Amino acid sequence: MYTSRPGDPGIDRKYEEALIAAETRMGQVHPARVAGEDIHTRETFTVWSPIEKTLKTGVFQQCGMAETKAAILAANETYADWSHTPWEARCACINAAADRLEEEYFHLAALITLECAKTRNEALAEVGEAVALLRYHSTIIRDNDGFTRSMPADTETDRYESVMRPFGAWAVISPFNFPLVLGAGAAAAALITGNTVIMKPASATPLSMLTFCRILEDAGVPAGAANCITGSGPTFGKVISRSPGIAGLTFTGSRDAGMWLRQEFTTHQSYPKPVILELGSKNPCIVTAKADMKKAVEGVIRGAFGFSGQKCSATSRVYVEQLVFPTFAEILTDQAGRCTTGDPREQGVFMGPLIDSAAKERFDAAVASVSAAGGEILLGGRSFSGKDTHGAYFAEPTIVTGIPHDHPVMKNELFVPLVVLTMYNGIGEGIRRANDTEYGLTAGIFSEDPKEVEAFFSDIRFGVCYANRKDGATTGGWPEYQSFGGWNGSGSTGRGVGGPYYLLSYMREQAQTRLAK
């Protein structure tokens, strides 16, 4: 039976205690945060937990044009002092924030579970990754001596240097599925390199980033250098895309929303400014005849159905060599059918509910389109909600096969627990078909043949690639060990989060020449 990973009894106890405490504080009114002050607006919006539709996460401020402009102004007014703060002092603030995250480890994990319905192990892992990411940012700054490098000089008294400098006020827009780490990682990267930030979390999950904003202030980041506004609708995107006070932006989310924002930002700014896009994907896994079937099955299940498939790195296309296709399909279907689905607060649950009704509708439409195309549903295909689920929306782990390669389910990111199996012949064909997508975030292979693995790494056109990873065929990563960034339609910079080059995206080079008199 597939469940969340067994935990340490002490860890489980601390998490459960934090969960009880967090639930008692649900439903409170949460102000936005601008220039170190609480901001209340005339209009508010209520967020309900995806676990129970009667569990109110909180009441949040519907920030509009005025609040967004105020946050941009605060970030610009603070920029001069913060950018001139020595990099060592900025690193100290970010490390202090990492320490605070670690102190609030179980509390933050509980918030993540309640906000987006992650299981305890997924939620705990996200907090741990956020801690590691902030500390890794500091390590990279230190290892590169603040990104100042001496260049060859003509004389002993001349001084030539290459200095990486920040841009200014930076907007960070983060998604619902990793409500802490994807916003915190980008915001910390901008701050540690000398920029100031305006954070805008997803309207479905604003609480984690509001908490992080206060943690940054407590860690010594000056008021106004880190701001967090909340709200739903396109107001924030429209204001920042047209504001000359925004020097750069980071967006993590869907391809359509990201491309729209990039176009708006490019069109309405008076000169080119940096845009970091981390978008979706349609991630393939190749299973060859030389694969370890046990590892491959576990890797695909964890990659496809972890967090109910609501990850940009979720395994969604599996290419299985014809010789082993029947065996693999049979074992995968049997094992995936044992996934435990239910309340993610309960120990042992592997799949919690979907984030909202739109996800359920997307799942239902995908299943219907597979049937209409003559495809075969090997497992699952059913969604459900109602009184028995406390209003939450669930979808079964679903495996389908027999649809054309140009079918929308093969091409479009779905963010639901549905994976497609397809046969191929020969490693070359498997790689070619895996590459047949506009996306390029993550990809995996299962093979015990080193030549096949090396062929995969040589020719696959994805930014994050895994071989024989049973903990997730196309998912997973950790700062310093695996950078995380997409190619093609999945990203804009080619530099992965948590890798040695990521911080360079938040800086620009200045050549400084000092000649002797």
> What residues are labeled active site?
278, 312
Question: What's the pLDDT at 209?
Answer: 98
- Give the residue ranges of DSSP H helices in 318-449: 325-336, 357-372, 408-411, 427-434
| 446: its two tokens | 């299962």
Task: Name the nearest CA neighbour of 274 among 496, 507, 463, 83.
Answer: 507
Question: What's the pLDDT at 134?
Answer: 98
Question: What's the pLDDT at 387?
Answer: 83
Q: Are strands 159-166 and 507-514 parallel, antiparallel or unpaired?
A: antiparallel
d(CA 467, CA 446): 6
Beta bridge partners of 38: 33
Which residues, at least 6 apart from 253, have a Cβ–Cβ distance to it below 8 Å? 173, 174, 175, 202, 278, 279, 280
Buried b (16+ CB within 10 A) or exposed e, 135-164: bbbbebbeeeebbeeeeeeeeeeeeeeeeb
Q: For helices 120-143 and 87-103, give the axis angle rounded to 10 degrees.
A: 160
d(CA 163, CA 153): 15
d(CA 26, CA 97): 24
**Per-position DSSP letters for 83-137, written without gaps between them:** HTS-HHHHHHHHHHHHHHHHHTHHHHHHHHHHHH---HHHHHHHHHHHHHHHHHH
> For tokens 């981390």, what's the residue?
278
**Per-position DSSP letters for 191-214, written without gaps between them:** HHTT-EEEEE--TTS-HHHHHHHH
Full set of structural domains in the chain with CATH: 11-279+493-514 (3.40.605.10), 283-478 (3.40.309.10)
Mean pLDDT for each consecutive 10-residue tract of the chain (517 residues)? Answer: 67 95 96 98 97 96 97 98 98 98 97 97 97 98 96 88 98 98 98 98 98 98 97 90 97 95 96 97 98 98 98 98 98 97 95 97 98 98 92 97 97 98 98 98 98 98 98 93 96 96 98 90
Sign of the alpha-carbon dihedral angle for 231, 236, 239, 240: positive
Which residues, at least 6 apart from 379, have a Cβ–Cβ distance to it below 8 Å? 333, 336, 337, 396, 397, 398, 399
Task: Name the nearest CA neighbour of 409 among 313, 331, 318, 305.
Answer: 318
> For tokens 């929306």, what's the residue?
393
